[in-house]
Copies of this chain bind each other. A is one copy, B any other.
């Protein structure tokens, strides 16, 4: 298909597609003339992934390129592929970048103790470890008596959540589709999962403490 059709199919403006081509996020099409190229389904799907990374999750172009490069290189290994997606920090930087010399040694951190207790096999550079440590530190600085053991029951529920997540990647998808689906479900479900918790909190509060005054 021509670039105009690719734009129509993906919902991404032609000028933006050309920008992604120049930046190397989208591989070039097959040249059919000096100024024309043919694009295929691969390009449609890749554009959708780019849109999810940049448009929906707010990643920078260079952060998105890191993810896309990695997805393309490691096509053969499902765990590596998913690890790239699952190891992404909230700001979208691949985990490797945040593991500097200042990173705590294994077991030094509270997240390390939590993971050891849970028996979870997680690489040292998964940035979610630091989020755990930071949260516990912040809570304590605000006078809440919390340590990694307080998170254990939440972690058990997260385990079941992850099973639901991974089950949705079981269908026979090619690696690019699998990466796309993992990005979409990991990133885009996050606000919905927090929203479900808020709704459940209100429902639970209602059933424990009763009618909250005037309701609509």
Give chain B nearest CB distance to A82 CB in angstroms. Answer: 5
Segment of A15-23, A30-38, A58-66, A139-147 in the binding face: A139-147
A203 near B52 with CB under 8 A, answer no
Decide if the interface of chain A is mainly helix, strand, loop or mixed: helix
Q: Which of B82, B142, B161, B202 contacts A123 (CB 8 A)?
A: B202
B83 near A216 with CB under 8 A, answer no
B56 near A204 with CB under 8 A, answer no
- Interface check A212, CB cutoff 8 A: yes
- Interface check A1, CB cutoff 8 A: no
Q: Which of B77, B111, B142 contacts A52 (CB 8 A)?
A: B142
Count A interface residues, CB 8 Å. Answer: 84
Give the complex CA separation of A147 and B97 in angstroms. 36
Sample (12) of A-B pairs whose CB atoms are under 8 Å apart: A52-B142, A74-B213, A115-B203, A120-B199, A121-B207, A123-B212, A123-B216, A129-B195, A136-B192, A154-B161, A157-B157, A162-B200
The chain A residues found within 8 Å of chain B, CB to CB, are: 11, 48, 51-52, 56, 74, 77-80, 82-83, 86-87, 90, 111, 115, 118, 120-126, 128-129, 131-132, 134-136, 138-139, 141-144, 151, 153-155, 157-166, 181, 184-186, 188-213, 215-216
Ranked nearest first, the 6 interchain pairs of A and B with the lowest CB-CB distance are A120-B203, A162-B200, A79-B209, A128-B195, A158-B196, A131-B195
